[in-house]
Amino acid sequence: MKRTGGTEASNVYFTSFKATEHENLLQKLHRLMKTAGFETIDFTDKYAAIKIHFGEYGNLAFLRPNYARVVADYVKELGGKPFLTDCNTLYVGSRKNALDHLETAYVNGFSPYQTGCHVIIGDGLKGTDETIVPIDGEYVKEAKIGHAIMDADVFISLTHFKGHEMAGFGGALKNIGMGCGSRAGKMEQHCDGKPSVDQSLCVGCGACSRICAHGAPQFKDHKASIDHDKCVGCGRCLAVCPKDAIAADYNDSIAMLNYKMAEYSLAVCKDRPCFHVSLICDVSPNCDCHAENDIPIIPNVGMLASFDPVALDVACADLCNQMTPVENSVLGENIKVHGNEEDHDHFHMTHPDTEWRSCISHAVKIGLGRDQYKLITL
């Protein structure tokens, strides 16, 4: 599909990470946002939610808080009241409740002194503070979104674009749809993607059991199995299994996750001003939810901004697929084993059980945005 120009194309603005003594990267980000039309939003006395991933403790691939400071300061410059936000996680880790989540955010540099604004965990102390948003979607009738996020007058996504073990890549729609869901909202999105174990590959190491917050992995004779009644389908066990013994049961489960994620994104964005920024840097193979980050699968690409989160994700994916893979990365190693497919996609090659296009197509279908874009380079 050719994704350039045309009356049905959305504008996506791009600038590289090249800097000069006259303009550093923070100044380039400000100029990018300004050129993309950020100042057309009325921020006067408005609360502005800046949705960002604070990174799991131990992960170092998340966006630097300096970038969040640029966005927050720009909102304040225009008369708004910004706050950084994310919602609690389903899985065991350092962000499963608001206290741990705040501690992790501060340890990773997202304190008010460094970012110029406060952090509010969107779904409260235990992930139960949510707003029910009626959307009457094909798969989601009422989305469960973090209350503080829905209370904001303006919504801004600030996304670290990277690989993802279930969605293919973690872009704007992943940051918005999954990231803004309360714990119940995340569970609703994940519920159709429940994995099983190939016991011929399982070595009984217990990694899946240690990462699961719900006690779904069960062991008999040192072999794991997944109790689907307990499993919420979050996919963490797939990523930590050292033998690749765990996989989703059905190919369409990934598509179902993507469909729901698109509808949750619509619930977050509809009926209020929104703006979206994505940075393609430190493109780790997995989500920043991991307590580690492997080497990037491609070199750094640049910064992008748009009013259309769908076009933004497609533009980011296209730019990534134009990059030469890092040789000893997960992507580089998989290419050595499997070779370059005719319809090669870096993210599918990194995680062969995933695909991301169903999320894009469904987002277009429900009117969230367009998959055609005009790339405007600064």
Domain residue spans of the chain: 10-189+252-377, 194-249
Distance CA 45, CA 270 (A): 20
Cα–Cα distances in angstroms (integers) from residue 292 to residues 58, 60, 155, 158, 348, in the given order: 5, 7, 29, 21, 21
Q: Which two tokens stand for residue 289?
A: 């939810």
Task: Report H helices in the chain.
Answer: 25-36, 65-77, 98-107, 112-115, 147-151, 172-173, 183-190, 207-211, 236-240, 251-269, 309-321, 330-338, 346-350, 357-365
Whether residue 121 contacts residue 145, with contact meaning beta carbons closer than 8 Å, is answered with: no
Amino acid 371: pLDDT: 97
Identify the CATH assignment for 194-249 out of 3.40.920.10, 3.40.250.10, 3.90.1010.20, 3.30.70.20.
3.30.70.20
3 state SS of 183:
helix
Q: What is the DSSP code (8-state) at residue 178? A: I
Per-residue pLDDT of the chain (378 residues; tens, 9 = 90+): 345 444 589 999 999 999 999 999 999 999 999 999 999 999 999 999 999 999 999 999 999 999 999 999 999 999 999 999 999 997 778 998 999 999 999 999 999 999 999 999 999 998 889 999 999 999 999 999 999 999 999 999 999 999 999 899 999 999 999 999 998 888 888 876 678 899 999 999 999 999 898 999 999 999 999 998 998 877 678 768 888 898 766 445 788 999 999 999 999 999 999 999 999 999 999 999 999 999 999 999 999 999 999 999 999 999 999 999 999 999 999 999 887 776 789 999 999 989 999 999 999 999 999 999 999 999
Q: How many CB atoms are closer than 10 A to CB 270? A: 15
Amino acid 250: pLDDT: 47
Q: Which two tokens stand for residue 145?
A: 């979104």
Whether residue 52 contacts residue 158, with contact meaning beta carbons closer than 8 Å, is answered with: yes
Amino acid 248: pLDDT: 63
Q: Count how many residues are written for the chain.
A: 378
10-189+252-377 and 194-249 agree in CATH topology:
no
Helix axes 251-269, 357-365, angle to 10 degrees: 40
Distance CA 133, CA 124 (A): 17
Q: Tell me which architecture the domain covering 10-189+252-377 has in CATH.
A: 3-Layer(aba) Sandwich (3.40)
Amino acid 1: pLDDT: 38
